[in-house]
Chains A and B, each alone.
Chain A
């Protein structure tokens, strides 16, 4: 029973979505199923927040390695939650004076929530994203080896693209006239050709495979063949 009801729910919701796609009279059924998911996901935020606090507080109380980071996590979580939920420091909305600051925008420019977002969250987000540049360099040094013919092709292509996307590429093949029949060999044009043709073709091939795989997995789940999301795959 514990697994049968969720299985039946998943099967019926899935088939409703498929049928709703083709039968006009049932179009709104699919939307309702999507809305149920949105409601579940919203309620799950509370579950996640509670779990976050529980896990991090346990790390603090057990003084496991790195418990200081858990302190920072808990403090940041609680501060943002308080500032956001209480609309701390937000100006009242002149259209609704009776409601005080509750009718104001929680992310009003100048408010503490906005300040934390602008000057703490956004720089941190940009910092982590910027680390990619360093990791790309170290990955290139460590991993790009000409072990076989395909790898050599890949490396040559990488060189063409890397140089073609900069002024160096334009400079190196500038002697080829832009009007000549060989203008396609100019690095900047060749780069565009590689991206348009080879890269797009490869991408599409992978995407076709992914689409078929997605359909197959979805069907297995709808038919109850794959029940691992419920727990064990064995009866």
Chain B
């Protein structure tokens, strides 16, 4: 089964959120485990498939 396609992820200012590109759309994801995008980002990070860049 295909996964949600996340091509980049970077923490926002103060690590308040994650700015990500998912399925070619730029989105801002909250750090909420009940949010499905955050859950998928965390799953891919835990699986070693994705790295979240530090905030500027």
Q: Do chains A and B interact in one complex?
A: no
Please list the residues of chain A having a beta carbon within 8 angstroms of any beta carbon in chain B.
none
